[in-house]
Chain A
């Protein structure tokens, strides 16, 4: 450094941008867990974004080889801990497909009811946390307030709030309670008397009616907010071919305009559950999108989730009378020492974050020879490198947040 700068103003005209490696994470609030992004930047522009994963790896698949199938259910909770019910359901269905067992009708409708409530809870977190990534705090608080009530309902149903282990092979661990004390959170915000008792399904309906009115507010706060649109529309555009090639599923795939939802297009053991239900598959492009929006950008992915919340409300409403009308038990017995046949199955279900797959190989023992959890977020995250190429550094959280990842599921 022999060059001497006499006039300090010269520096300003002589700013040289140089390539720089920036570590984002693993302890960064907007990486949604312990994700480390290695960014190669030139000034403000990101040229390369390499995700480094594995910080939460505990080899759940190896653990599963030493446990009977129902014993592995709690491990599926801890993968996608924001949608534990949907993960339970995916694995339970895979086990049922392997041993070829029938589930009572009551359990089927109970499962749809619970799984769709889980989807609402998961998408609420996705929505709130995405707002937080983009610098707005209030939607996060609203989303968590609403989600809290769903967790209260889960607690009444199975005793656990986050890691539920509720839907097991054969049905569910318990039937839904008949009558519960109205959750304090719901009583406080919707104007009911705390401590009063109502039938469980009525409390769900009371909650849905209240939630429905709030959706409009979220649209005002986020979806139609001018700043939000500027931060999301036209950024992180994922074209349909890349989305399919990179195995993207769920809202990421549908946000890119691919009309594919396993609840309609999946295997019969899963679509059979939804056979009597009336719903549409939500996929981009949207007619009511702002003009800046492009197919497959951050805004589209976000909007798919918002619309799926409304759709899930409708599905829960349809499930309630069906559940009440169904007679018999909420489960078929599945014993811990049930021998798994010498066969193998692979089953994917539509979890809130995408298609979660379970691959089970039985060898005649109660413990499977191999269990494999194919993570939807793992595949969704693999496009970050493509999406972040050439975007400003400040948009990286916007892109990663729109993929709505959960690291517990990626690392397993």
Chain B
């Protein structure tokens, strides 16, 4: 016989079942995304570093008039992905925090996901170079290979194996890449203890039109060629000379000097007459007058570039990750070898991004007084004293759609 109490319990079970069904039926609806009416010009990565785990967001900003940017229409990502823009396409490189390379396309204020591919497990993808619609290259730092992909179909078509250039392990740690005239230049960041490097700076030159033959060039004046989180650490000037910044164990190994090396146009060797020793350059208006590496650089023109540099005198010992803001903004003349501090506030290492937009250098800074995009006017030399666009999260990458 079913008692009244049993009836009540059966009732409560039924309520629970309905309750549970209600939970499962509640899903997010992507169709709610608002659509604006024109394409945005700026692509940005911001990172929510206040959460544990930190997460990244990839989004777009129309222009400098918007005042503020939030991530409500941005694409969620593992923290600090790298971006490579090609026309309307945005490739999000997962860095060491995943294997999924995702291709987005800007579409009236949002990024549509138009493709993805799985890179080898744990490969630590560091950079991507698009050659044409059917061919692009992805450097796989821990795998010791360059993946050749079809960016249209988002499939891996082949690999270029670099493992024979490894010292003491299976990978020469290919990092930054740049492509010109059928030659793919790849910086190698081989460590000697897992963290720092005593090996000479090394670049592999891969002749793509000649069976991917590889030439290794080294230079012992500095170490750690390129910069692990900078798509622009290697660049060509107007003369076709290739410059690259070498971080030299981020300044942590005494005697190592970070700075710029050069490969002259048409040469397959580092220019023995050129090395801009940044580590020893004395900079006015910063504590200690020295920086120990440039975290991000952006070549402008006529030997002028802009860079975000780490000022070690501003770092606490042990580091204070809440209050320390150690990265300053600089203008660098790589021909005449000089560095000038810009009048922008110091920021943390999770921001310090920069790009060129119209007549401004945009700086993505997370500072003591503001978080967002600051500007340096290339015509007047004036800087903004507050963000012209505040951002939700620390901006680690800013790129401009061509």
Q: Do A and B come from one complex?
A: no
